[in-house]
Amino acid sequence: MIYITNGYMIDPKSGREGYYDILIQGDKIAGIARQGTPLPDLLGQKGIDAKWQQAEEVRRIDAAGLVVAPGLVDVHVHFRDPGLTHKEDIYTGAKAAARGGFTSVVLMANTKPPVDNVDTLSYVLEKGKKTDIHIYSCANVTKRMKGEELVDMEALSAAGASGFTDDGIPLMNEGRLREALRRAARLGKPVSLHEENPALIANNGVNAGKAAAYYGIGGSPREAEISMVERDLKIALEEEADLSIQHISTKEAVELVRRAKKQSSHIYAEATPHHFTLTEDALPEHGALAKMNPPLREEADRLAIIEGLKDGTIDMIATDHAPHSIEEKAKPITEAPSGIIGLETSLSLGIRELVDQGFLSMKQLMEKMSYEPARLYHLDAGYLEEKGPADLVLFNCRDRWQVERFASKACNSPFVGQWMPGTIMYTICGGRVVYRQPQVE
C-alpha cells in the first residue's frame, strides 16, 4: 500500500481540489479523504485488509508542498520502435515519459515498418507491456502510409489500436478520408490528422516568413495547414465522426476548429508546448533544434493557440515527442529532420507559459494534460477517484530545475539549459512508484 498525505489534490474530472490524503492498494485508489483522516479510519471506511497494521507494508509519502494529480496522458508521441531505435525505443521512451510525469502515452504509427498490420501493432503493444507505464498505440489509416488503400481497421481495432492516423503525412484523398471516418466511427475510434498540404510547401519545418527569409528558403506557408483543416473539418462534420486536428499551429486553424466545435461534439484539437511557447524567432537562435512540422509561426498564432486552450477550442496538450540523433539535427536546416523531444519538459512549459502567466488554472492545465486526452481515446486514465486507476503525478510547481540530461535517448530540444518550474517528485503508475526525483529520500 501507498499512503499519500498532506498533498494538494486536483481531480480534473470531478473538479475536486484541496488537501486530501490518498490510499493506494494494488493498482487502484482505495480511498480518498480530507487531510488528517487517521489511516485506520480511512482503511476501515473502505473495508481494506487489516495488513495496514504492519507498518512496513504501508509506504507513506509526505506530499507537503506538492500538487497531487492524475498521471499525465500524452496522445501524440513517437518512440521510433520498430525500425529507428537509434533515436528512441519503447523502453527509453517510457522512461522519459515517467520522468515527465506521464503514466499513459499513445504512440503514433509512422514507424518502419508502419503500424498498418496486426503483427506490427502486436509487437508494439507487447513490448509496451514490459515498461513501467501504460503504452497504447494508434494504427495507420492507409497501408504503408501511401494514402491509397485503407488498412483493415476492424482487425486493428480488435487487436488493440486506440485510434487511427498517418501522422507525418496528410491524407490527401477526400474519398478515402471520408470512408476512414465512417469506419472509425462504427468502431468508436478517433482519427487524428496531420494537416499540411505538401503541394504548398517549399521547405518543411520552417515558417514561410521571417524564419524562411533568414535561411533564404521558401519554407512552409500557413495556407498549407489552413486549407487542410478547412477541408477535413467539413468532411468530419458531415460524417459525424471523432476527428482530432493534430499539433495546431495557425490562428486561422484555431478559428476554424472553434466554429466547427459549435456544430459538433465530435471535433477535437491538440496543441504542443512548443507551439504555445515559441515563435519562428527561435529558428535563428536554435537552428534545426527549433525545426518541426508544422513549423513555429508568428506571435499572433502563439497567442491564438493560448486563447484556444483557454476557451476550450483546443482540448489537449500533446508533446509530439519526436526524438532525433545529434548527427541528424546537426545537418543544414533543409536537410535536418523536423521535430523535438517534449515528454520531460511538457508539464514545466505548461506551468511557466500558461499557469504562471494567468492563462489557465492548474486544474485547467491538468484537464488538458490528462483527463481530456484520455477521454478522446477512451482510456481509463486522467482522473482520481476511489476504485479508479492508481496513476498519479506528484510535483512541486514552484521548485525550479534546469533542463540538462534526459531519460530519452535523444536531446534535440531548444529548451536545454533553461530553468523551469515544476519538478516532478514522484510518478506512480499502476500503484507502483515508477519515477522518483533523485533528491527525494
Positions marked catalytic: 320
End-to-end Cα separation, the chain, in angstroms: 18
Q: How many whole angstroms separate alpha carbon 76 and alpha carbon 416? A: 22
Tell the burial category of 418 from Cβ atoms under 10 Å away from its Cβ (0-12, 13-18, 19+).
middle
Q: Which helix (H) or strand (E) is 401 found in, with range?
A: strand 392-402
**DSSP code of residue 207:** B
Q: What angle do CA 50, 52, 55 make, to 5 degrees?
A: 145
Q: What are phi and psi of 432, to 5 degrees?
A: -120, 140
C-beta separation of 195 from 168 below 8 A = no
Contacts of 216 (CB under 8 A, 6+ apart): none
C-beta separation of 314 from 261 below 8 A = no
Q: By three-state DSSP, how is residue 173 classified?
A: coil
Q: How many whole angstroms separate alpha carbon 319 and alpha carbon 167? A: 13
The 3-state DSSP composition of the chain as helix, strand, coil percent (nearest 5) reads 35, 20, 45
C-beta separation of 319 from 346 below 8 A = yes
C-beta separation of 270 from 76 below 8 A = yes
**DSSP code of residue 367:** I
Q: What DSSP assignment string belongs to 109-153?
A: S--SS-S-SHHHHHHHHHHHTTSSSEEEE-B-SBGGG-SSSB--H
Other C-beta atoms within 10 Å of 136: how many?
Answer: 22
**Residue 333: CA count within 13 A, CB half-sphere:** 24
Q: How many whole angstroms separate alpha carbon 137 and alpha carbon 122? A: 10
C-beta separation of 23 from 386 below 8 A = no
Retrieve residue 51's grid coordinates: 495488513
